Amino acid sequence: MVLPRFLLVLCSASMVMTSPSSWRPDASSFAGSTSTAIFPPPASTNATDVTTYFPDPTEVGHAGPTPTGDEPWVAETAPAAPVKADTYPLVNPSKSAGKLAFDPMRSWGNLSPWFSVGDVFGLSEASTAVPAGCELTQVHLLHRHGARYPTAGSAPSAFATKVHAAATSSGFAASGPLEFLNTWTYKLGEELLTPFGRQQLFDLGVAFRVKYGHLLKGFTDLPVFRTTSEARMVDSALNFAAGFFGVQQYKGAYHQLINIEDIGFNSTLAPFASCPNAQNKAAKLGYEVARNWTLSYSKTAISRLQKYVDGITLNAADIQGMQELCAYETVALGYSAFCELFTEEDWRGYEYAIDLGLWYSYGPGNPASAAQGIGYVQELVARLTRTPLTEFATSLNATLDGNNVTFPLNQPIYIDATHDTVISNVLVALNFTTLAADGPLPVGHRPKHQSYTAQHLVPFASNLVGQVMSCPVSPRARDKRPFIRFLLNDGVLPLTGVAHCPKNKHGLCEVDGFVRGMKERIAEVDYTYDCFANYTVPWPDPIIDGRMRK
């Protein structure tokens, strides 16, 4: 499951040919065609077996000294928290041509690479470092896959198809900033992780080991980490494990559970597959809202760019496609000429289209969002209380969640891999109302203040971390109790909206209070109704908590 490409509901790509007498078609006939590469070379798989010439490290031996050191513990022992800021080796559009300080990469919504968001969620005094006097005892990580290729039939490939159709019919001629289109080819695959996407998850695994490695000392058996069956999900999980445990060690260091991601199979990491209303007209509301916004904001860019191309008539779908090509080519190929075409205002408009789509299709504004995320909340409560799950009326999988081998309850570290839309669902189910404080998002203009932005919530490799720690109940108290708080992309989240969790400058809540609040939230979310009932979402859509009232 991915945040949908809103192009699908935009008007069909139109192409108007100008009279050949007024211009000369300079574009190559291959412009817009798809170019691919395959590695390893196909012939190599049929070659004579030569593996005996290349023994593995265990056969070679002579490894040198191998004693290990102690586990790192940066989250608790360092005086400052680490910060994620770079996207090396990608060429950042804001620096590729000596541009202004505005960074387009941070306006790509769910296509942005993840970075530390600081105090954007409102807790200016909070740090991701463990508060003084507290001792970390457990962590829960829910992360998105890394950067990937676009989905089949999405805006980038549709634009390429339009360009190639023009090149192979009456031709076209591009000049100025669009001149590169004359020889441009489409070099993107579909949905698989890009090299940078693999790096993101490897780095996330390394970072998690450096921050929380000390918790491995609390295991009495191998950890169980979870992901789903889609290729990019498995690759993300394996790259994380390689970074966390080490390339030579990871295969024997943990158990990788792979949930089937397909219609008819229950999984809290792919809850849309068991919730029919996640795929009906109500779920498509974000498409329509984003479509209308794109038709509006793209007018300026169409007017500015059209004069540089003859033989192709640009429309809103093309502008969206080129902006997505900027993002996808950058995370796949390292650089994209499309990035140079757009102004800060263009990027603000694009980003808000993504925000609208996420809010109304997968966020607080969709009536089935809380229901889709509530299964993960049930698992979280079970893990926090070490209580086996016995009721499976949501997206829980009775076979896997009901087995203490595949769903252990005694781990100091829990790692789950999922999609951007699911993280959005879970945030709604957890009832983190601060994120929805400025909702519903207006559909006709960008608001001056906006608490809900996709680039902060669900970028590529987004990571939601629940930190469980033992802390004094008051500054002068000696007694300690278990507390929990949540970090989203290194930003501490206020637990506003969670019953029994009073305001706290560090985002902390006593575990007992948090669990009580979550049990109440689970009870109030009507999974059967929200996922299966036949209802109509009112418009304007007033929903801000991801639930449909009867």
Residue type, position 461, single letter: A
For residue 282, what pLDDT is reported? Answer: 84
CA dist 20 and 1 (Å) reads 44
Which of 82-96, 296-310, 396-410, 426-440 shows the lowest mean pLDDT across its residues?
Answer: 82-96
Mean pLDDT computed over 317-338: 98
Query: Which residue, 284, 263, 193, 199, is CA-closest to 231?
Result: 193
Residue 8 has pLDDT above 50, yes or no: no
For residue 388, what pLDDT is reported? Answer: 98
For residue 115, what pLDDT is reported? Answer: 97
- Report the percentage of the chain scoring pLDDT > 90: 84
For residue 45, what pLDDT is reported? Answer: 62
Confidence of residue 124 (pLDDT cuts 50, 70, 90): very high
Residue 219 has pLDDT above 70, yes or no: yes
Confidence of residue 192 (pLDDT cuts 50, 70, 90): very high
CB-side exposure of 202: number of CA atoms within 13 Å? Answer: 11
Is the Cβ–Cβ distance between 452 and 436 less than 8 Å? yes
- Residue 228, both tokens: 């789903």
Give whole-number Cα distances, 524 to 276, 390, 545, in Å.
Answer: 20, 18, 11
Helix (H) or strand (E) holding 155: helix 155-167
- Residue 78, both tokens: 């360092």
Q: What backbone phi and psi angles, to 5 degrees, belong to 417? A: -110, 140
Give whole-number Cα distances, 508 to 123, 498, 513, in Å.
Answer: 11, 11, 11
Residue 46 has pLDDT above 90, yes or no: no
Tell me the H-state helices in 213-343: 231-245, 285-297, 299-306, 316-333
Residue 52 has pLDDT above 50, yes or no: yes
Confidence of residue 26 (pLDDT cuts 50, 70, 90): confident
309-331 core/surface letters (b: 16 or more CB in 10 A; e: else): bbbbbbbbbbbbbbbbbbbbbbb
Is the Cβ–Cβ distance between 102 and 412 less than 8 Å? no
Is the Cβ–Cβ distance between 457 and 434 less than 8 Å? no
* Beta-strand relationship, 224-228 and 135-144: unpaired
| Locus of tokens 């000294």 | 65
CA dist 465 and 140 (Å) reads 5
CA dist 32 and 161 (Å) reads 6
For residue 38, what pLDDT is reported? Answer: 86
Residue 427 has pLDDT above 50, yes or no: yes
- Report the percentage of the chain scoring pLDDT > 70: 94
Tell me the H-state helices in 386-452: 398-401, 420-429
267-278, pLDDT tens digit by residue? 999 999 999 999
Instruction: Report, as residue numbers or ranges, the catalytic residues.
Output: 145
Residue 235 has pLDDT above 50, yes or no: yes
| Locus of tokens 């690479």 | 113
Bigger pLDDT: 96 vs 162: 162
Mean pLDDT computed over 239-253: 97
Confidence of residue 100 (pLDDT cuts 50, 70, 90): low
Confidence of residue 347 (pLDDT cuts 50, 70, 90): very high
Q: 199 in helix, strand or coil?
A: helix
Task: Kindly report the average pLDDT of the chain as a whole number.
Answer: 93
Confidence of residue 18 (pLDDT cuts 50, 70, 90): very low
Q: What backbone phi and psi angles, to 5 degrees, belong to 257? A: -90, 130
Is the Cβ–Cβ distance between 470 and 135 less than 8 Å? yes
Q: What backbone phi and psi angles, to 5 degrees, belong to 429? A: -65, -35
Give whole-number Cα distances, 7 to 326, 346, 515, in Å.
Answer: 15, 16, 41
Tell me the H-state helices in 192-276: 195-212, 231-245
Query: Which residue, 141, 146, 142, is CA-closest to 75?
Result: 141
Is the Cβ–Cβ distance between 408 and 219 less than 8 Å? no
Confidence of residue 44 (pLDDT cuts 50, 70, 90): confident
Residues 6+ apart with CB under 8 A from 240: 143, 201, 202, 204, 205, 208, 225, 415, 417
Is the Cβ–Cβ distance between 373 and 430 less than 8 Å? yes
For residue 48, what pLDDT is reported? Answer: 61
Residue 336 has pLDDT above 50, yes or no: yes
Tallying the residues shown for the chain, one arrives at 550
For residue 42, what pLDDT is reported? Answer: 76
Residue 204 has pLDDT above 90, yes or no: yes
Mean pLDDT computed over 81-106: 84
Global pTM reads 0.94
446-483, pLDDT tens digit by residue? 999 999 999 999 999 999 999 999 999 887 778 899 99
Q: 413 in helix, strand or coil?
A: strand
| Locus of tokens 């930190």 | 467
CA dist 440 and 452 (Å) reads 10
Mean pLDDT computed over 293-320: 98
| Locus of tokens 């469980």 | 468
Residue 72 has pLDDT above 70, yes or no: yes
- Residue 42, both tokens: 């196909």
Residue 4 has pLDDT above 70, yes or no: no
Is the Cβ–Cβ distance between 135 and 73 less than 8 Å? no
- Per DSSP, 281 falls in state T
CA dist 82 and 232 (Å) reads 27
Q: What backbone phi and psi angles, to 5 degrees, belong to 500? A: 70, 15
Is the Cβ–Cβ distance between 78 and 321 less than 8 Å? no
